[in-house]
Each structure stands twice: as structure tokens, then as C-alpha cells.
Amino acid sequence: MIARLLMRLFVAASLVAVVGGLGYVYVKPPEGMHVTSEGVPYLSPPVVHPVTGEAVTLEVLVHHYKGGGR
């Protein structure tokens, strides 16, 4: 009987932790989840340009392929 009660308490505590964690991330997202108006994360590493092979920021690459400069 005590084992069943402890298991229910453990499940309830786990549920509170999961729902609380998800709610916290929804209300105050971590810095890595913020994105620009183009949908590019702020904390994204440089990527290799497919034509030149040089390292460029993801923002520049997205801007180029979306037709930037027109």
C-alpha cells in the first residue's frame, strides 16, 4: 500500500516538473530559441557557402536565397 502511494506521489511530482518546465520555456524561452524576422536563430554557427566554400553566417545565406537585394 505504501509503495502504491509513493509511486503516485512520484508520478504527480514528475508531472508537475514536466508541465512546469514546459510552461517556463514557453513563457521565457532560452536565448538560443530567439529568431530573427527571417526565422534564423540568433545563436546559429557559421555555415559553408555551397558555391564558394567559405564560412558565412546563416543570416547572409538565408537572405541570399530568399532573394535579398532586390
pTM for the full model? 0.53
Contacts of 47 (CB under 8 A, 6+ apart): 55, 56, 57, 58, 61
Confidence band for 69, pLDDT divided at 50, 70 and 90? low
Residue with more model confidence, 58 or 4: 4
Q: What is the mean pLDDT of residues 53-64?
A: 85
Residue with grid cell 537572405, as numbered in its chain? 63
pLDDT tens for each residue of 19-40:
999 999 999 988 778 888 888 8
